[in-house]
Amino acid sequence: MRLTVQWQDHSREPHAGQFYMLRAWAADATPILSRPISVDDFDNQTGALTFLYQVKGEGTHKLAALKKDDTLTVTGPCGNGFDTAALAGQYKRIAVVGGGIGTAPLLLLCKELCRAGVRPDLFVGFRDTTYGMDRFVPWCRDIYAATVSGKEGLHGLVTDLPGGSLVIFGADCLPILLYDPVRRVAAACHAGWRGTALGIAQRAVEKMGFYGSRPEDIRAAIGPGIAKCCFETHEDVPNAMTKALGVCATPYIEPIEGGKFKVDLKGLNAMRLKRAGLLEEHIDISPDCTACHPEKYWSHRATQGRRGSQAAVIQLL
């Protein structure tokens, strides 16, 4: 939900990283406390002060009920904020990282960094779909987005830095972890049916090559995910596979009654990895189906979306 108010106090203009206390109800009404919401954007020419927030509790429901020209109490700006001029003077390249509704306060930060002389790289994550990214485009050098569901954005990570962990979340989609013990490079990718069709596993192997990895040295683990026994789809999924892989995809697609199909994502990704140059004996596939074992795993299908997520983690020590 977006809320824009007029802020006319030019002696106390907001900066990136600051927040305001918002209240659209009487002092003796519930909730007792005002709601702290970070600044999404500020136009010092017009005084338009914008907040982006999720409607969760009683306070945000009352804020969401405001109409044009209604009044509310806005107290702030609060917090120290970022010294973007100092950051831009110290660093030639800056990464800005956030997720979900937490990306909203990053817009003003990216604007101020850009105006100070450094266009930042933006790394953001969302649950299912990205939103608001078009507003960042003029102010950022590059934008990298990922989603937990894998519906949008980038689906993989690669590193050769010891100590850091690469984490992939999923609940039916396949986690694929890769490791090169020779060059000490690790990768993790999220392979739903879209990622499988687009060759996310092969792309991960290619990216590891930038670090000097050879496919024949790479070990791969395809983790628990929905198996062919439970992955019943309409024709869009097999069509995507055959479009990408041709007849090579057909052994992993089984037509069933009602014009539907069962698709073997694990087999397709193992085949993708072998095509990328991995040795068959270096590919380990978990037999577990997340939809078959709701007592052990989260499954988007089994719970009809009311679920958590598994995490697959790989770390270079």
Q: Is the CB of residue 189 less than 8 Å from the CB of residue 168?
A: yes
Strands 48-52 and 95-99: unpaired
Q: What is the DSSP letter of 172?
A: S
Grade residue 164 by pLDDT with cuts at 50, 70 and 90.
confident
Q: What is the mean predicted confidence (pLDDT) over 223-233?
A: 96
Average pLDDT of the chain, as a whole number: 93
Higher confidence at residue 28 or residue 79? Answer: 79
From CA 311, how far away is CA 204, in angstroms rounded?
18
User: Taking the complete model, does pTM exceed 0.75, yes or no?
Assistant: no
Host H or E run for residue 110: helix 106-115
- Burial of 113 from C-beta contacts in 10 A (0-12 / 13-18 / 19+): buried
From CA 168, how far away is CA 172, in angstroms rounded?
12
Q: Cα dist. 76→12, 30, 39, 40 in Å?
A: 8, 21, 10, 14
- Whether 151 has a pLDDT exceeding 80, the answer reads no
Grade residue 271 by pLDDT with cuts at 50, 70 and 90.
very high
Grade residue 284 by pLDDT with cuts at 50, 70 and 90.
very high
Per-residue model confidence (pLDDT) at position 97: 96
Query: pLDDT tens across 231-256, in order?
Result: 999 999 999 999 999 999 999 999 99
Q: Is the CB of residue 77 less than 8 Å from the CB of residue 14?
A: yes
From CA 170, how far away is CA 300, in angstroms rounded?
9
- Burial of 108 from C-beta contacts in 10 A (0-12 / 13-18 / 19+): buried
